[in-house]
Amino acid sequence: MLKKISKVLLLCALVLVTGCTKKEPVIELTDENIKAISVEVADAFVNSEFKNIPQYLSKEAKEEITLQNLTQSWNKVTENLGSYQTMKIDVHRLADRDLGYVYMTFKSGTVKLSLSFNQEMKIKGMYLNYPSKIVEAVNTDEYTEQNVLVGVDE
């Protein structure tokens, strides 16, 4: 009888432990979710709340990216840019990767935060740099086209 009670208690304990384990909710990989997480991570950078960033990182990224790396990188990239002003978010969904780009404008320049997401909506890569300057399109109405022959006429 004691063996049966022990087995029942063990089974109940296993059911309780299994039912109480907390699973992370799976977030669907969509443009809206990429934008939302990109904004949250960018806000954490801007507000120097680096401790909030690791929750968005994949297991592999957590092994590579430390709070110290985040803090040092951010401070180095933004040290001479002045006060934060605005941000713009772009999402690029390619065949082999899903990317969120956040352009954070400061008084004296812009910082580009590039985030690469895995299928579980976790960040697998993160890069801070300065974006390339965007060249404005030229109005071609001011130009004319004509045929020119180059060479020697014999």
* Neighbour tally for 143: CB within 10 Å: 7
Supply the pLDDT for residue 149: 79
What gap in Å lies between CA 104 and CA 88, rounded to an integer?
7
Please report the pLDDT score of residue 10 as a whole number.
Answer: 42
Query: Which tens digits make up the pLDDT trace of 11-52?
Result: 444 444 444 545 556 667 788 999 999 999 999 999 999 999
Q: Are 129 and 111 in contact (CB under 8 A)?
A: yes
Domain boundaries, the chain: 24-129
Band (pLDDT 50/70/90 cuts) for residue 154 is low
pLDDT (average), residues 115-138:
85
pLDDT band at 8 (very low <50, low <70, confident <90, very high): very low
Contact 33, 56 (CB under 8 A): no
Tell which CATH classification among 3.40.50.720, 3.90.1150.10, 3.10.450.590, 3.40.50.300 matches the domain 24-129: 3.10.450.590
Which pLDDT value is given to residue 18?
45
